Amino acid sequence: MSGALAIRGVSKTYDAEGAGVEALRECSFEVRAEEFVAIVGPSGCGKTTLLNAIAGFDTVSAGEIVGIKPMFRHEARHCEAEARLDHPADVRSSCYGR
């Protein structure tokens, strides 16, 4: 991996009442250090699912996410379980001390 973050063949399927719902299908891209990236698309295309997987709030069904420190991913899961905050800035302050 030459980038700061690599998403390789990431797929996510939710099992809603026995009917598989595919949120992501074989998503792959790389972000190099100091690059700015925007993830855009129509409602329901998997943007939030992908970002939740990158942050460690959710798991993927297939593929891998490389380049995020495991400690950060663990802290993100801990914050999701502990914090019940209404505003994204509150989550940043509470979880990351910023």
- For position 9, what pLDDT does the model report? 96
The pTM assigned to this predicted structure is: 0.65
Sheet holding 5-16, edge to edge: 19-31, 5-16, 62-66
Structure tokens of 86? 């209404």
Domains of the chain, earliest start first: 1-67 (3.40.50.300), 69-98 (no CATH)
- For residue 25, the model assigns a pLDDT of 95
Number of helices (H), then strands (E), in the chain: 3, 3
Burial (CB count within 10 angstroms: exposed 0-12, middle 13-18, buried 19+), residue 59: exposed
What does the pLDDT read at residue 46? 94
pLDDT tens string, the chain, 98 residues long: the values are 456 899 999 999 998 788 889 999 999 999 988 888 999 999 999 999 999 999 888 999 999 999 865 444 445 444 544 444 455 554 444 444 44
> Which residues are CB-contacts of 5 (< 8 A; sequence separation ≥ 6)?
30, 31, 54, 65, 66, 67, 68
Question: Measuring CA to CA, which residue among 17, 16, 38, 27 is closest to residue 60?
Answer: 27
